[in-house]
Amino acid sequence: MSSSLTREGLLQAYRTMRTIREFEERLHVDFATGEIPGFVHLYAGEEASATGICMHLNRDDYIASTHRGHGHCIAKGVDPVGMMAEIWGKATGTCKGKGGSMHIADLDVGMLGANGIVGGGGPLICGTALASKLRGSNNVGVCFFGDGASNQGTIFEAMNLAAVWKLPVIFVGENNGYAEATASNFSVACENIADRASAFGMPGVIADGFDFFAVHEAAGEAIKRAREGGGPTLLEVKLSRYYGHFEGDQQTYRAPGEVQKLRETKDCLMQFARRVTSRGELTMAELEAIDVEVKTLIDASVVKAKADPLPKPEDLMADVYVSY
Amino acid sequence: MARKITYQQAINEALDQEMARDPSVIVMGEDVAGGAGAPGDEDSWGGVLGVTKGLYAKHPGRVLDTPISESGYIGAAVGAACNGMRPVAELMFIDFMGVCFDQIFNQAAKFRYMFGGKAKTPVVIRAMYGAGFRAAAQHSQCLYNIFTHIPGLKVVLPSNPYDAKGLLIQSIRDNDPVIFLEHKALYTMEGDVPEESYIVPFGEAAVVQEGDDVTIVAFGRMVNYAKDAGTSLRKKGVQCEIIDPRTTSPMDFDTILESVERTGRLVIVDESHPRCSMASDVSGFIAQEAFGALKAPIQMVTAPHVPVPFAASLEDLYIPSPARIEEAVMRVKEYR
């Protein structure tokens, strides 16, 4: 498979994946101290999916995300420093500390929100895509959802509606094998989520979510088709999460050594680095320089988040309505 | 210039004028055109009761029939509102909120707050509500109290054609999610409605009859029943002040408070069930804010705590009547 990416594109892809990984690994450590409030669902291990897809998008394209939304946010261009402050519940957060990990959104960059409701984003992204279509723009909408949400009626309704209205939507089913603690090979009645595409008259495609280049290529075709008026696609990305459903989940439902084996043999960052260096497209020194820069950024974001002010009492009542 | 048109025509006219004024206004829902993909007329229905009839031809490409997928298209309306449109989505019967409530109360209602004040979701969800059509338990409920409970939503209940037009235009121009509820028994009601565009602001109650003896607060269709009762009571020498809040969120509590402080007697008329209702909401507010002014216990005239029955003999018993309102007024008037 030949990459359509330029050198700059490859560097950007690696930087995005590394930023997501570093962000999540750091949250994993910090959450254990008990200082971070609420629920946190980490995207570590799945970086190739958000990155491979969002690299095809521009600012005016929308994405709808999930509980496990940090990676989608970073890949779509939400500022990680604001995100870290949000997760720490600070007034300087992306959502002023009102949303938290499960509701980070930044409409200015086309990020319609992580979503605390499983399957909530499908109908919403049909709406952003409808607006794009009615305006005559070629913008698209991407709905990320998990294998758990793949069984929600909202996702079926949204896929049918997108097909009926021929909307520029890409439904990205990130199948990490577990809906909370229940295996997708139990909860999803057919072999692949992508198999359901035929029921809605749209193409169904499967991509290896450990392989950035496979995701990038599959997404590129689907997004191009959507931009050209060819309607929606269902793209199933098969991948794995390195941590529990939420932080604190002991994952006793998983096989012993399952994650360790994936990290050692299939990790998306490892595979990416091996490929681009073996082909002479990038050097290890370049990648390591990015690693250092990203670590510095994330360290600084944590220092800042810890020091940043909490929302004030008067913020409790602010921003319920535009006017009331 | 005002002329007499029906409540239904007033709603249609508001949609038509706003669609002509603002290209971002679109109408979507089940059979709002009525005939998409069918071999006959593409706009054979114009909504299940014909409320949107004619808009399809006047505004090409902006009246969109949907599959029967309430979560799908109500959510799509919400998403389109986040991306620059002003969708008016028709939910047909309000009872169908049960199949799409998440998109309304967890998504649309929460975005602005949850996203730190950056989101704007100018969506209108129209639906018909109320009993009296022999439509039974799943096509006759009120449910406005449930929406009123949710921060982030605005809830509108026009009781007459004039308010229907002005409140709908305000709903479409409003930058927050609005639940616009139309009583199906009012569609044929006629009233004076100006031809030109106008708005009725939210959170401003109408005092539809003045009086100093008893305050009646009534919602939606019940405003008209309260007026019937008030007319009858006036002949008996009882002067009622009848207040139509017009919107339950925001709610004009000030007008109610001012009236009750003057009359000391309050009857609330609400077609929904009594528990956790607009009636209990207003009752609780007055008990807290004007206890000292009350000369009699507050009376709530509501439907009973039962589903809406089908048989005419039972449904007529279910719906609050002008006679029951009169009885309640006389009870508070003659207390001690």
Whether B134 contacts B310, CB under 8 Å: yes
Q: Which residue, among A126, A138, A156, would best test binding to B if mutated, counting the most B CBs under 10 Å from its CB? A: A126
The top-level CATH class assigned to B2-194 is alpha beta
Instruction: Give the integer Cα–Cα distance in Å for B147 and B91.
Output: 14
Q: Which CATH number fits domain A7-308: 3.30.420.10, 3.40.50.970, 3.40.50.720, 3.40.50.300?
A: 3.40.50.970
Using CA atoms, how far residue A236 sits from A47, A128, A230, in Å, is 15, 21, 18
CB-based contact, A232 to chain B, within 8 Å: no
CB-based contact, B79 to chain A, within 8 Å: yes
Name the closest residue on chain A to residue B77, using Cα atoms.
Answer: A127
- The per-residue pLDDT for range A177-193, each reduced to its tens digit, is 999 999 999 999 999 99
To the nearest whole angstrom, how far is the Cα of A105 from the nearest Cα of chain B? 6
Chain A contact set for B71 (CB, 8 A): 123, 153-154, 157
Option in A98, A106, A130 nearest B113 (CB): A98
Count of beta carbons in the 10 Å neighbourhood of residue B133: 15
Asked whether the beta carbons of residue A97 and residue B116 sit closer than 8 angstroms, the reply is: yes
Option in A99, A130, A321 nearest B115 (CB): A99
Name the closest residue on chain A to residue B37, using Cα atoms.
Answer: A164
The full 3-state SS of chain B, as one line of letters, equals: CEEEEEHHHHHHHHHHHHHHHCCCEEEEECCCCCCCCCCCCCCCCCCCCCCCCCHHHHCCCCEEECCCCHHHHHHHHHHHHHCCCEEEEEEEEHHHHHHCHHHHHHHHCCHHHHCCCCCCCCCEEEEEECCCCCCCCCCCCCCHHHHHCCCCCEEECCCCHHHHHHHHHHHHHCCCCEEEEEEHHHCCCEEEEECCCCCCCCCCCEEEECCCCEEEEECCCHHHHHHHHHHHHHHCCCCEEEEECCEEECCCHHHHHHHHHHHCCEEEEECCCCCCCHHHHHHHHHHHHCHHHCCCCCEEEECCCCCCCCCHHHHHHHCCCHHHHHHHHHHHHCCC
Which residues of B does the annotation mark as catalytic?
A: 139
CB-based contact, B59 to chain A, within 8 Å: no
Residue from B136, B124, B210, B217 nearest B171 by CA: B124
Window 275-304 of B: residues touching A by CB (8 A cutoff) are: none
What six digits make up the tokens of A164? 């009926």
Report residue A282 CA to chain centroid gap: 25
CB-based contact, B101 to chain A, within 8 Å: no
Asked whether the beta carbons of residue B103 and residue A131 sit closer than 8 angstroms, the reply is: no
Q: Which residue, among A96, A128, A138, A171, would best test binding to B if mutated, counting the most B CBs under 10 Å from its CB? A: A128
Name the closest residue on chain A to residue B101, using Cα atoms.
Answer: A120
CB-based contact, A8 to chain B, within 8 Å: no
To the nearest whole angstrom, how far is the Cα of B166 from the nearest Cα of chain A? 17
What six digits make up the tokens of A115? 């979503």
Q: Which CATH number fits domain B206-333: 3.40.50.920, 1.10.760.10, 3.90.1530.10, 3.90.79.10?
A: 3.40.50.920
CB-based contact, B104 to chain A, within 8 Å: no
Instruction: Give the integer Cα–Cα distance in Å for B113 and B111.
Output: 6
**Domain spans in chain A, listed from the N-terminal domain onward:** 7-308
Asked whether the beta carbons of residue A127 and residue B78 sit closer than 8 angstroms, the reply is: yes
B31 burial (CB, 10 Å; 0-12 / 13-18 / 19+) is: buried
Tens of pLDDT along chain B (336 residues) come to: 789 999 999 999 999 999 999 999 999 999 999 999 999 999 999 999 999 999 999 999 999 999 999 999 999 999 999 999 999 999 999 999 999 999 999 999 999 999 999 999 999 999 999 999 999 999 999 999 999 999 999 999 999 999 999 999 999 999 999 999 999 999 999 999 999 999 999 999 999 999 999 999 999 999 999 999 999 999 999 999 999 999 999 999 999 999 999 999 999 999 999 999 999 999 999 999 999 999 999 999 999 999 999 999 999 999 999 999 999 999 999 997
Chain A contact set for B104 (CB, 8 A): none
Name the closest residue on chain A to residue B155, using Cα atoms.
Answer: A324
Chain B contact set for A124 (CB, 8 A): 75-76, 78-79, 82, 103, 107
- The per-residue pLDDT for range A53-104, each reduced to its tens digit, is 999 999 999 999 999 999 999 999 999 999 999 999 999 999 999 999 999 9
**Domain spans in chain B, listed from the N-terminal domain onward:** 2-194, 206-333
Asked whether the beta carbons of residue A105 and residue B119 sit closer than 8 angstroms, the reply is: yes
* HSE of B8, CA atoms in CB hemisphere, 13 A: 16
Classified as helix, coil or strand, A193 is: helix
Chain B contact set for A113 (CB, 8 A): 111, 114-115
What six digits make up the tokens of B76? 């799509």
Tens of pLDDT along chain A (324 residues) come to: 446 799 999 999 999 999 999 999 999 999 999 999 999 999 999 999 999 999 999 999 999 999 999 999 999 999 999 999 999 999 999 999 999 999 999 999 999 999 999 999 999 999 999 999 999 999 999 999 999 999 999 999 999 999 999 999 999 999 999 999 999 999 999 999 999 999 999 999 999 999 999 999 999 999 999 999 999 999 999 999 999 999 999 999 999 999 999 999 999 999 999 999 999 999 999 999 999 999 999 999 999 999 999 999 999 999 999 999
Name the closest residue on chain B to residue A82, using Cα atoms.
Answer: B116
Q: How many residues does chain B have?
A: 336
